[in-house]
Amino acid sequence: MSVIMSLELAGDPKGLEQFASQNEDKMAAVLEAAKRHGLIAHRFYGSDDGSKVLVLDEWPDRQSFESFFEEQGPQIRPMMEAAGATSEPAPTIWRELATHDVYGWGA
């Protein structure tokens, strides 16, 4: 069963969007590396008040994400800096609970 990785950081969503628009090739290269490691889904989100960035990914398992993150850390760091992050990213891995009420995402 797949896992969800969330990474929340205090930062500027617009700064990250600006970095992405000015560095499409770098963003695409990191995405391609993630796919090679098994990435299922990926999104960046910004808070309504413009003070936080959230990354949500779906991976086949924890090991796939950790392998990717270790390999791509030097390429990910400038993205986080562009968002104004002041600390190292601390991803959280989430497993799906068996609650018998799943809905959406192809359930």
- CATH, residue 19: 3.30.70.100
| pTM across the whole model | 0.89
H, E, C per residue of the chain: CCEEEEEEEECCHHHHHHHHHHCHHHHHHHHHHHHHCCCCEEEEEECCCCCEEEEEEEECCHHHHHHHHHHHHHHHHHHHHHCCCCCCCCCEEEECCCCCCCCCCCC
Q: Is residue 107 part of a domain?
A: no
Report CA-CA distances (Å) from 83 to 37, 95, 96: 25, 27, 29
Q: Is residue 106 part of a domain?
A: no
Quick one: pLDDT at residue 50? Answer: 93
Interval 67-92 mean pLDDT: 90
Is residue 107 over pLDDT 80?
no
With tokens 């609970």, the residue in question is 97
Quick one: pLDDT at residue 88? Answer: 78
Quick one: pLDDT at residue 69? Answer: 96
| Domain assignment of residue 68, given as a range | 3-95
Q: Is residue 7 part of a domain?
A: yes
pLDDT grade for 84, boundaries at 50, 70 and 90: confident
Work out the percent of the chain whose per-residue pLDDT is above 90.
79
> For the chain, how many structural domains are there in total?
1
Q: Is residue 105 part of a domain?
A: no
Q: Is residue 103 part of a domain?
A: no
Quick one: pLDDT at residue 83? Answer: 83
Q: Which two tokens stand for residue 74?
A: 């030097």
Q: Is residue 101 part of a domain?
A: no
pLDDT digits (tens, 9 = 90+) for 54-71: 999 999 999 999 999 999
